[in-house]
């Protein structure tokens, strides 16, 4: 079969690396891809929001399966576009419809969905442009810290947490009145702050049943000790020791099952990944957010832990036969350490030559922001490379990732050296 993956990050390189190993896959394309995906498949220079061009590419290249890595095309309705075209009806597309992707595309929709399905989440209220004063009044009823969330997609910057009510008010005003995040902050969710430890849980669903995938912990802040601004993710660990059997049972019963049922109640045929961004408060799980795709950097640890053939699982999704499958996981620990460009998540330079990748030993090096200029590989983004390693525990796996993090070089290279410390 021929497979097309849409996206260009570390998640898509991990997916491509895995799918390329399937004996069922004879040709693999990644659009637009990066220097890493070009080593396991063929990069196709497509705009992933241009559905017509993607459809033409799929037909011309007789693609059987399209795996949508990133959220933007899903929120924009790529699945609805494929479903509406009879000439694409045989194609397996992994990713939900526009209605399903609202779980990620609209925080207000997600909160309302959770409330209606009694899924544990922070108490909240949504305010629309013109309701700034009502928002101020609601803030008065809350305790600090104050959590403000732009309703729509805001490139990971749409959540603002303030300690002082004055700052919360000013941010709310900027979001609603000044359209700080454009359309995305037409509505703002204000919610209760939950104090706990985060974990990312993933399922693959065919719309009827689901398969639970390995969980992971992501490290979002740029600085050591979880300080400084948020990033796309500086590294990840899987499995997560505190997500033990008892906790995961609560997650399945109180969160995953009601979510799958809730989507069915809305007649949303959801065929793809659901990413549950959870927080453990005491011993109880709460949902912080949903995403309609896999996480990045979580993918760089969970995909290497999946032993089963992903193309089989994806085919089962289309035919709603996922309940017949069991997935096998690597039980040892996987860790990934992201090397990022100096200055990220603020301004940074691109085009720096990367050396040493071929000298690494014992790790998988997944590319994110890289490109090849024909002769050498250069940096092309804030998050550059994810170095994934296995070990009998977090310490052992991380030691390998860190050893190789020192072997790879580019001007301005930075990484966090304290990953996993909070779990030991
Ligand atoms: P999100 O974009 O929804 O993932 O939010 C970004 C980050 O903000 C999350 O990963 C959490 O660390 C934090 N966050 C979001 N909502 C809450 C909340 N209600 N309580 C505490 N932290 C939160
Ligand atoms: N690691 C968080 C995300 O993919 O959104």
- Average pLDDT score over the chain: 96
Closest residue CA from atom 2 of ligand 2: 295
111 is a domain residue: no
Cα–Cα distance measured from residue 407 to residue 194, given in angstroms and rounded to the nearest whole number? 39
Q: Tell me, yes or no, whether 276 and 348 share the same domain.
A: yes
Asked whether 79 and 270 are in contact (CB, 8 A), the reply is: no
Convert the pLDDT of each residue in 91-125 to its tens digit. 999 999 999 999 999 999 999 999 999 999 999 99
pLDDT of residue 373: 85
Residues 6+ apart with CB under 8 A from 88: 55, 58, 59, 82
Q: What is the pLDDT of residues 294-305, one digit of tens each?
A: 999 999 999 999
Q: Residue 35: which domain range?
A: 2-76
Domain end marker among 19, 54, 76: 76
- Ligand 1 lining (C-beta closer than 6 Å): 122, 147, 159, 191, 193-194, 198, 220, 277, 288-289
Number of domains in the chain: 3
User: Does 99 fall in a domain?
Assistant: no
What's the pLDDT tens digit per position in 220-279? 999 999 999 889 999 999 999 999 999 999 999 999 999 999 999 999 999 999 999 999
Using alpha carbons, list the distances in angstroms from residue 280 to 201, 285, 421: 12, 5, 18
Q: How far apart are CA 188 and CA 252, in angstroms?
A: 29
35 in Cβ contact with 376 (< 8 Å)? no
pLDDT at 61 over 80: yes
Q: Give the distance (Å) from ligand 2 centre to CA of residue 197.
A: 15
Could you tell me the CATH number of the domain that includes residue 151? 3.30.1490.20
Tell me the CA–centroid distance for residue 26 and ligand 1, in Å.
Answer: 41
Do 353 and 411 reside in the same domain of the chain? yes
- Residue 294 C-beta-side C-alpha neighbours within 13 Å: 28
Residue-wise pLDDT for 108-117, tens only, equals: 999 999 999 9
Tell me: the pLDDT tens digits for 312-332? 999 999 999 999 998 999 999
For helices 98-105 and 107-116, the axis angle rounded to 10 degrees is 100
Percent of the chain with pLDDT over 70: 100
Judged against a pLDDT cut of 80, whether residue 156 lies above it is answered with no
Give, in degrees to the nearest 5, the angle at Cα 280 between 111 and 197: 110
Residue 177: which of 164, 192, 187 has the closest Cα?
A: 187
Compute the distance from residue 189 Cα to the ligand 2 centre, in Å: 20
> How many angstroms is it from 21 CA to the middle of ligand 1?
36
The last residue of a domain, from among 76, 109, 142: 76
Phi-psi region of 307 (alpha: psi -120 to 50; beta: other; left: phi over 0): alpha
Please choose from 107, 122, 289, 297 the residue to mutate so as to test ligand 1's pocket, defined by most ligand atoms within 8 A of CB.
289
Write phi, then psi, for 331 (nearest 5 degrees): -85, -20
Q: Using alpha carbons only, what angle is made at residue 151 by residues 147 and 157, rounded to the nearest 5 degrees?
A: 65
Distance (Å, rounded) from C-alpha 50 to C-alpha 218?
31
Q: How far is CA 206 from CA 75, 190, 263, in A?
A: 18, 32, 11
Here the CATH number for the domain that contains residue 373 is 3.30.470.20
């Amino acid at each position: 079969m021929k497979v097309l993956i849409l996206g260009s990050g570390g998640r898509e390189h991990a997916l491509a690396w895995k799918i390329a190993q399937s004996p069922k896959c004879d040709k693999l394309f990644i659009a637009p891809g990066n220097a890493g995906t070009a080593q396991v498949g063929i990069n196709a220079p497509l705009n992933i929001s241009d559905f017509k061009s993607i459809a033409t590419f799929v037909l011309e290249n007789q693609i059987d399966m399209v795996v949508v890595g990133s959220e933007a095309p899903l929120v924009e309705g790529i699945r609805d576009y494929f479903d509406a075209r009879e000439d694409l009806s045989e194609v397996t597309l992994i990713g939900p419809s526009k209605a399903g992707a609202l779980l990620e595309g609209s925080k207000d929709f997600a909160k309302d969905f959770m409330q209606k399905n009694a899924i544990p989440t922070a108490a909240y209220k949504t305010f629309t442009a013109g309701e700034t004063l009502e928002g101020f009044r609601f803030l008065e009823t809350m305790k600090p810290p104050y959590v403000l969330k732009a309703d729509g997609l805001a490139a990971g910057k749409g959540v603002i947490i303030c300690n002082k009510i004055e700052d919360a008010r000013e941010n709310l005003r900027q979001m609603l009145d000044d359209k700080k995040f454009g359309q995305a902050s037409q509505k703002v969710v204000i919610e209760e702050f939950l104090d706990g430890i985060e974990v990312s849980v993933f399922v693959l669903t065919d719309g009827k049943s689901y398969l639970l995938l390995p969980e992971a912990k992501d490290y979002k802040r740029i600085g050591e000790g979880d300080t400084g601004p948020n990033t796309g993710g500086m590294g990840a660990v899987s499995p997560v020791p505190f997500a033990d059997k008892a906790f995961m049972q609560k997650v399945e019963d109180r969160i995953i099952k009601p979510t799958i049922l809730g989507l069915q109640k809305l007649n949303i045929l959801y065929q793809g990944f659901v990413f549950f961004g959870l927080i453990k408060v005491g011993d109880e799980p709460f949902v912080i957010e949903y995403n309609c795709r896999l996480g990045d950097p979580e993918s760089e640890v969970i995909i290497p832990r999946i032993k089963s053939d992903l193309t089989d699982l994806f085919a089962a999704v289309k035919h709603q036969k996922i309940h017949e499958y069991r997935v096998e996981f690597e039980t040892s620990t996987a860790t990934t350490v992201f090397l990022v460009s100096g200055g990220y998540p603020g301004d940074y330079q691109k085009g720096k030559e990367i050396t040493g990748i071929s000298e690494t030993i014992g790790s998988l090096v997944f590319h994110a922001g890289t490109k090849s200029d024909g002769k050498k590989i250069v940096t092309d983004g804030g998050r550059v490379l994810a170095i994934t390693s296995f070990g009998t525990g977090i310490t052992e796996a991380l030691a390998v990732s860190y050893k190789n993090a020192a072997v790879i070089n580019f001007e301005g290279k930075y990484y966090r050296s304290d990953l996993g410390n909070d779990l030991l």
